[in-house]
Amino acid sequence: MPKVSDDYREERRMEIALAALAVARRRGFTKTTMADVIAELDSSAGSVYSNFKNKAEMTHYVAGVILEARVAELQEIAALGGTPAPLDLLEAMLTGALSQNVLFDVVMQIWSESITEPTLGVVIQDLLLRMRLAMREAVLPWARLRSTSEEQAESLADRSSFVIVALAQGFITNTALQGPLSPTEYVAGLRSFYDT
């Protein structure tokens, strides 16, 4: 039997994950089963289960793909140097999510399920922590300019990253429930709030 390349395996995993998202968008995340995903792909159970042992693993993969893109964006911004402000980082992160066509309604369903499903809850908490850590590193140069010590800068970066990720969750919630809002408008509203 020929060996499957890593690239092929990754493409297949993404194809399965996208099929799962399509089903989740139609049926709801909770009601989506592995059998639904198999039917959506018109594939064999073995070809799906050889890539993901269950829905939680598939969800972790999808969330990881979305998150890794956001983390990479933050790392690129940080590598450029300078001192991007937290709201500039928020806008970049949200713009990236929209350009990747993240299905915010499905994200909301996954978050909801994670409250009552402990395994998924651990996955979501881990991903949120990774997002906060990436945001912390990106915002740290800005925090250093506003602090008199490294300890103070790290504390400010910790607090700021927590708030910025929470604001991103607010954008996702608003977009899922009320329809599209541009990241620029959202951040402009936040800026006007801070100016009062």
Same domain, yes or no: 74 and 120: yes
| Same structural domain, 158 and 67 | yes
Closest C-alpha among 110, 97, 91 to residue 66: 97
Q: What is the CATH number of the domain that holds 167?
A: 1.10.357
- 139 pLDDT higher than 60: yes
Query: CATH number of the domain that 20 lies in?
Result: 1.10.10
Number of domains in the chain: 2
Where is the domain boundary, 13, 37, 53? 53
* pTM of the model as a whole: 0.81
State the average pLDDT over residues 114-142: 88
What confidence score (pLDDT) does residue 103 get?
79
Domain end (from 36, 53, 70): 53
Are 42 and 126 found together in one domain?
no
pLDDT score recorded for residue 2: 60
Query: Which residue reads 């020929």 in tokens?
Result: 2
Q: What is the DSSP string of 52-75?
A: -SSHHHHHHHHHHHHHHHHHHHHH
Q: Which of 53, 72, 94 is the last residue of a domain?
A: 53
